[in-house]
Amino acid sequence: MTETNYRTALVTGASSGLGRGLALWLAKRGVRVFATGRRLPQLQALTAEAQAAGVTIEPVEMDVTKPDATMERIRALDAECGGLDLVVANAGVGGTTNAKRLQWERVRGIIDTNVTGAAATLSAVLPNMVERKRGHLVGVSSLAGIRGLAGHAAYSASKAFLSTFMESLRVDLSGTGVRATCIYPGFVKSEMTATNNFPMPFLMETHDAVELMGQGIVRGDAEVSFPWQLAVPTRMAKVLPNPIFDAAARRLR
């Protein structure tokens, strides 16, 4: 079992999917985990599962679309536990936003969670981490943020924001003792992908994706991308000329 040096961790979006899996992964390695989300019953079920496994997860009802309240709550937890060692901005929402029938309400909902919520989560205790000269920030982006996917303008753009945000943090934090990691999942079985009505190549089981996430976080990797079968061609697509990329992207709609 992989050992960690974290005493405490906070994981947002922990009521399901990758966040839920990562919260359990960390707790089973002796980390005191604050699992946050909007759905308290699901968080309580996670707590019960952790107790059955002989570990402890503390549920925290929190809505990252309310950034001021999010920052206040995370700062309170930071003070309560003597300093959060790891903060994972995992909470995210998907959904199509086809330009031909774009709805601002849907765009705004994605931005509120994936952009504003993630930034608030990561910003909440960063000054304290720098002052303590220790800490680790993790942003869960997506391979979808590397280029703009057809029909997913808001989702792709929101994840592109998080990727760039994490990269800049990583550069700025060099030498401070605070690390920054950006995670780029491909398609993973979850509530979010269960509603997708398009092909999802190399769809991964949640537990396999969580293991790759956890291992990469513990190593302190700058970036973690998976599965490699999708990550490699996606990153290669970054350098494709626009006409070639556009033609390929349209066929994937």
Active site residues: 155
85 vs 7: CA distance, rounded Å: 6
Cβ neighbour number for residue 167 with a 10 Å cutoff: 16
84 vs 71: CA distance, rounded Å: 13
Q: Are strands 223-226 and 57-61 parallel, antiparallel or unpaired?
A: unpaired
Q: Which amino acid is at 207?
A: H
Of 210, 94, 214, whose CA–CA distance to 142 is shortest?
A: 94
Please report where in the chains the tokens 């839920």 appear, as a residue.
Answer: 20
Please report where in the chains the tokens 């359990």 appear, as a residue.
Answer: 24
Structural contact between residues 149 and 159, judged by C-beta atoms closer than 8 angstroms: no
109 vs 115: CA distance, rounded Å: 10
Please report where in the chains the tokens 């079920």 appear, as a residue.
Answer: 45
**Alpha-carbon distances, residue 152 vs 51, 161, 200 (angstroms):** 39, 14, 14
Structure tokens at 193: 């992908």
